[in-house]
């Protein structure tokens, strides 16, 4: 996206305290928006879901403006367009999609093998071949709207790395933390507390895949047909993931030559 279509911003004067406050405000606003309009219907009722769609979209649309308000009054060093700061850019986008997704699939080698052994991959095939089976309010919420708006909310902020875990709970903390890792590795850090020029698309797609797969059901391994083989596939996937995590997310491949690796620990 052309820089002329979006104002240039910089955040060289942001402090850790201001970063934490900005994270808390927008996160609270996101959650609060879900309860502004009380629905008489259950959580998974289409009317409730559509109402919440509208609420979170409003917060998500306001988030970029909120980020702009926190920017420097006078442009400092490392100024970028607001779109770039939000992670919405086309540069190196194919690599930013393929490599993180490949890494995520490798991590889920064990669960995928387990699905195959249990002959449950046919369900996944039907899910892909027949969009009408999943294009519904619940699926759109779980696999698209929720993830995109949450990630846009989280990463469009002047993000301090230590704050991410406070915004997510349960196993989604793991998926969310992994998405944060991808977001940082496909971008560059030019300030100790601020993330610049990252890709949003990779974390969105990988987080969607993680939500689709769910947390690995390790307790099914002992009762499976080939427990040793499946256990080995789980272990192999984890080892390969740990070995390939940094090479497949090498920041220089994403046009991020100024990435300071010492900041991500």
How confident is the model at residue 38, as a pLDDT?
A: 74
Average the pLDDT over 140-144 and give the result: 61
Q: What six digits make up the tokens of 35?
A: 């309860």
Average the pLDDT over 35-42 and give the result: 77
- Statement: residue 49 has pLDDT above 80: no
Contacts of 176 (CB under 8 A, 6+ apart): 154, 164, 165, 167, 168, 207
How confident is the model at residue 145, as a pLDDT?
A: 61
How confident is the model at residue 193, as a pLDDT?
A: 45
- Statement: residue 19 has pLDDT above 70: yes
- Statement: residue 223 has pLDDT above 80: yes
How confident is the model at residue 55, as a pLDDT?
A: 81
Q: Taking the complete model, does pTM exceed 0.85, yes or no?
A: no
Is residue 34 within 8 A of residue 56, CB to CB? The reply is: yes
How confident is the model at residue 84, as a pLDDT?
A: 73
How confident is the model at residue 16, as a pLDDT?
A: 75
Q: What six digits make up the tokens of 70?
A: 């926190």
Q: Which of 208, 160, 214, 151 is nearest to 183 (CA)?
A: 151
- Angle (CA) 58-59-64 rounded to 5° is 105
Confidence of residue 15 (pLDDT cuts 50, 70, 90): confident
Is residue 180 within 8 A of residue 161, CB to CB? The reply is: yes
Predicted confidence (pLDDT) per residue in 73-88, tens digit: 777 666 777 777 777 7
Give φ, ψ of 245 to 5 degrees.
-55, -45
- Statement: residue 194 has pLDDT above 50: no
- Statement: residue 111 has pLDDT above 90: yes
| DSSP-based three-state secondary structure for 196 | strand
Separation CA 31–CA 33 (nearest Å): 5
Separation CA 49–CA 174 (nearest Å): 25
- Which is more confident, 117 or 48? 117
Confidence of residue 218 (pLDDT cuts 50, 70, 90): confident
- Which is more confident, 242 or 257? 242
- The H-or-E segment that residue 9 falls in is strand 8-9
* Percent of the chain whose pLDDT exceeds 90: 12
Q: Among 42-46, 187-191, 233-237, which stretch is predicted with the lowest mean pLDDT? A: 187-191
Separation CA 165–CA 46 (nearest Å): 30
How confident is the model at residue 198, as a pLDDT?
A: 63
- Statement: residue 132 has pLDDT above 60: no
How confident is the model at residue 172, as a pLDDT?
A: 60
- Which is more confident, 168 or 204? 204
**Given phi > 0 = left and psi -120 to 50 = alpha, else beta, which region is 170?**
left
Predicted confidence (pLDDT) per residue in 166-187, tens digit: 454 555 667 767 877 887 777 6
Helix 146-155 / helix 201-213 crossing angle, nearest 10 deg: 140
- Which is more confident, 115 or 180? 115
């Amino acid at each position: 996206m052309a820089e002329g279509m979006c104002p240039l911003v910089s955040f060289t004067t942001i402090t850790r305290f201001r970063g934490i406050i900005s994270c808390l405000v927008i996160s609270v606003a996101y959650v609060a928006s879900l309860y502004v309009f009380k629905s008489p219907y259950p959580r998974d009722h289409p009317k409730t879901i559509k109402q919440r769609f509208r609420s979170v979209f409003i917060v998500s649309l306001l988030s970029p403006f909120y980020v702009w308000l926190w920017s420097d009054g006078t442009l400092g060093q490392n100024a970028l367009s607001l779109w770039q700061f939000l992670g919405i850019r086309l540069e190196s986008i194919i690599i930013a999609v393929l490599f993180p997704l490949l890494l995520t699939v490798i991590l889920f080698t064990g669960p995928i093998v387990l699905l195959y052994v249990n002959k449950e991959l046919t369900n996944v095939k039907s899910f892909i071949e027949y969009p009408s089976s999943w294009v519904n309010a619940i699926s759109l919420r779980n696999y698209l709207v929720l993830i995109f708006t949450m990630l846009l909310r989280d990463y469009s902020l002047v993000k301090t790395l230590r704050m991410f875990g406070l915004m997510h709970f349960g196993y989604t903390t793991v998926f969310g933390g992994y998405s944060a890792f991808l977001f940082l590795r496909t971008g560059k850090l030019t300030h100790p507390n601020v993330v610049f020029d990252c890709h949003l698309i990779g974390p969105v797609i990988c987080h969607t895949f993680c939500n689709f797969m769910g947390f690995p059901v390790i307790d099914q391994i002992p009762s499976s047909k080939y427990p040793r083989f499946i256990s080995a596939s789980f272990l192999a996937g984890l080892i390969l993931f740990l070995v390939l995590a940094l090479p497949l997310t090498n920041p220089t491949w994403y046009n991020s030559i100024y990435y300071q690796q010492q900041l991500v620990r």
